[in-house]
Amino acid sequence: MTDRSGYRFETRQIHAGYEPDAEGAVVPPIYNSVTYAYESPSEGISEHRYTRLSNPTRTALDRRIADLAGGQYGRTFASGMAAINTVFTACLSSGDHVVAGENLYAESHTLLTRVFSSFGVEVTFVDATDLTAIGDAIRPETALVYLETPSNPLLTITDISGVVDRCAAAESDPVVAVDNTFASPYLQRPLELGADIVVESLTKYVAGHSDVMAGALVTDDQDIAEKVDVIAYNQGATLSPYDCFLVFRGAKTLAGRMQTHCENAMAIAEFLADHAAVSQVYYPGLADHPNHDVATAQMHDFGGMVSLELDASLEETSQIVTNTELFELAESLGAVESLIEQPAPMTHRTLSAEELEAAGIPTSLVRLSVGIEHHDDLIADLDQAIERVLG
């Protein structure tokens, strides 16, 4: 395999991890075979023997995702949650403690509080923008510090290097894992900032077209990678060859798409910041965002996600998100089309009222996944939807 490490991201997203096979195929073939022939009971014809364990199409994707994330060991899964579950399973045992950001994807929050808690794992949620709070929350039994940055849905930014330093200074020296979904490897590479594991929903920006569900984790730690391989093979949540093909295809255009996502999101954030019906805009690219300086230091750009609070009731907010014409009212994010959603009754509906309040998610919060349409059309769509309800 040719070493592509000297090339820039835009080149590596197209060439890393794969070379034309024996047939000369420029695009990795979809190897749908479940099983692979042996020369003898002790020797296979190739490195593969059963697709749940490994598959040529998935191996090519694993290599590319690892390269783009700046890591050595990449592993792909049937969903982002399958990857996150694998991180927790690889890092945690009964009696362990987790420090997690108080702003988390709802299912990550639920997995920690309602699944792993039943196995004797305890969780402390903290303001992940406060390094002192993170350091103070680490105990001798803390095995994992788990973060999202930018976070879902309030787009808080955590100083990854600062967290790594706090963990290294702690007696327990916990693993640092970062969910990088909102940034993508084009905008941010947590491993290069000292994190032990980066996890992403490839469903979102990397695949980029709302037509495949996938997840990945990347690490430079061989021990973690070996644990992950055992878990993935035995739990069976590995990615199918066809889905690998779709993610591989989407990843080739990641840089160009992300540049347009970021340009559009900034234009929309600036528009919303001046709108009379909007009480607050959450976008790290705005100079008044409380974590703007950290985002500037560790991100290539500020991303395609924008959240806002309206001066509106739950019902009025629901009407506004229903009245958009270009922004589709739907969950998920990171694809070429723009999406709008109301977190409290939609993506975060599994959280109790108390959990929503603790996470700082009001009923008037709206989350935008800004696509690659023309930003003037998107701005006009938001403006008309707000005007129809609030006047």
Q: Which CATH architecture has domain 9-94+139-145+170-251?
A: 3-Layer(aba) Sandwich (3.40)
pLDDT of residue 213: 98
Q: Residue count of the chain, please give it.
A: 391
**Which residues participate in catalysis according to the annotation?**
52, 105, 179, 204
Give the three-class secondary structure for 295. helix
The yes-or-no answer to whether 9-94+139-145+170-251 and 254-390 have a common fold is no
In the predicted structure, residue 5 carries a pLDDT above the cut 80: no
Which pTM was predicted? 0.95
Q: Which residue has the higher pLDDT, 209 or 47?
A: 209
CA 376 from centroid of its chain's CA atoms: 27
Residue 284 CB: number of other CB atoms within 10 A?
A: 27
Q: Give me the percent of the chain exceeding a pLDDT of 90.
A: 90
Give dist(CA 122, CA 142) in Å, integer.
Answer: 9
Please report, for the chain, the start and end positions of each structural domain, with discontinuous segments joined by +: 9-94+139-145+170-251, 254-390
In the predicted structure, residue 115 carries a pLDDT above the cut 80: yes
In the predicted structure, residue 3 carries a pLDDT above the cut 80: no
Q: Which CATH architecture has domain 254-390?
A: Alpha-Beta Complex (3.90)
Give dist(CA 303, CA 161) in Å, integer.
Answer: 20
In the predicted structure, residue 351 carries a pLDDT above the cut 90: no
Give dist(CA 292, CA 159) in Å, integer.
Answer: 11
Task: Let me know if 259 is exposed, middle or buried by CB neighbors in 10 A (0-12, 13-18, 19+).
Answer: middle
